[in-house]
Amino acid sequence: MFVQGPVPGFRLLLVVIISLALIVADQKLDRVDQVRSTLGTGLAPVYWLGNAPYQFSDWVAGLFTTREDLRQENEALRARLLILERRALKYAALASENNELRRLMNSSEVLDDRVIVGEVVGVSPDPFSHEIIINKGRRDGLDNGQAILDAHGLMGQVVQASQLTSRVLLVSDSSHAVPVEVVRNGLRAVLLGTGDTDALELVHVPDTADIREGDLLVSSGLGGRFPRGYPVATVTSITKEPGEPFMSIQATPKAELNQSRLVLVVFPPETPREPDELSPGNPDSPSPSPTAEEQS
C-alpha cells in the first residue's frame, strides 16, 4: 500500500514559518542567547577534535627532533630572550614615567590592560564570514565585545561567548568597523573590513586630510569597545578622485589573521572604587562614639 508523504510545497511553507519564528524570537527574547550559548558549549568537543590532528602532528614531529636542532633552537630562544629583556627594561622605564605623568594629571586610566592567552581551535567554514573559535569562554571571564589581539596587532572582538569557547569576528569581516587614529598626527577615522584578510578600508577621510602611505593606524578608544593604542593597520594606498570629497584609502592589517594560533584576550580596566565617605581614613567622616569602656 503506497502512502503519500507531505506535499513539497507544504514542507517549504513550514520551514519558512519556523525560520521566521526563530528570527523573531532571536530579536525579542533573551533566552535564545542562552540556547545559542548552550549549543556553542556542546560544539566545543567538535572544535577540539578538529584541532587534534594538528596537535598530534606536532607531537610526532617532536619525537624525531635531533639534538642539533634542539641546540640551535635553544640558542635562538636565548638570543630572543636577551632582546626581549632589553626591551622590557626600556618599556618598564617608559611605563614608570608614563604612570607618573598620569598621576600628575589626575588620570585614572591604567597603562597596561589585563590579558589572558587563548588558542585558535576552529575557523568558520563560511567564506563570507571571517570568524574564528578560541578555547576561552565564560568560565575564563570572557564576554561579548572583548578585544582580541595577536603578537602584531588587533585581530577582532568576541561576538559570542559560550562556557568553554568563544566566537571571534575578525577586523577583515565586511560587517566589522574599528575607530582608529593616525599615530603621526592623531587624525581620527573609521576602518572597515572588506571581506579580504589582507585589505581594510579607511572611510570618510576628507581629501584635504594629512595622511600618507605607511602611516600606522591604532585604535582610538572611541566608543569604548576597543582599548586605545593597539596597532590595527598600515596605510598602503591613497587614491584621490577629482570632485570627490573623500579619499579612497586602503590599509593592511597588522595582525596575522590567517596564521596566528595564539591570541590575547583583553579585559577592560577595572573602575577604581570611590573611597567610603565614612571610612576611618577620611578626615571628614565623623568620629565614632566612645564605647562604655572608654567612657569609664
Measure the CA–CA gap between 44 and 192, rounded to whole angstroms. Answer: 30
Domain membership of residue 232 (yes or no) is yes
* Residue 269 pLDDT: 67
Alpha helices in the chain (DSSP H): 8-28, 31-42, 44-63, 67-104, 292-295
Q: Is residue 230 part of a domain?
A: yes
CA distance 97 to 107: 14
Residues whose CB falls within 8 Å of the CB of residue 166, separated by 6 or more in sequence, listed in order: 118, 133, 134, 136, 137, 142, 158, 160
Q: What is the pLDDT of residue 112?
A: 57
Question: Looking at the domain assignment, is residue 245 inside a domain?
Answer: yes
Residue 44 maps to a domain? no
Q: CA dihedral defined by 210, 215, 217, 222, rounded to 10 degrees? A: -20
> Which residues make beta-bridge pairs with 238?
249
- What pLDDT is stored for residue 241 in this prediction? 86
Residue 212 lies in a domain: yes
Q: Report yes or no on 54 lying in a domain.
A: no
Number of domains present in the structure of the chain: 1
User: Does residue 55 lie within any of the structural domains?
Assistant: no
Provide the pLDDT for residue 154.
Answer: 92
d(CA 230, CA 152) in angstroms, rounded, equals: 9
Distance of CA 199 to the CA centre of its chain: 18
CATH number for position 245: 2.40.10.350
Q: Which domain holds residue 252?
A: 177-256
Mean pLDDT of residues grouped by 10 in the chain (296 residues)?
A: 58 82 73 72 77 78 74 82 70 65 51 78 88 93 91 91 93 94 92 94 92 93 85 93 90 92 82 48 47 41
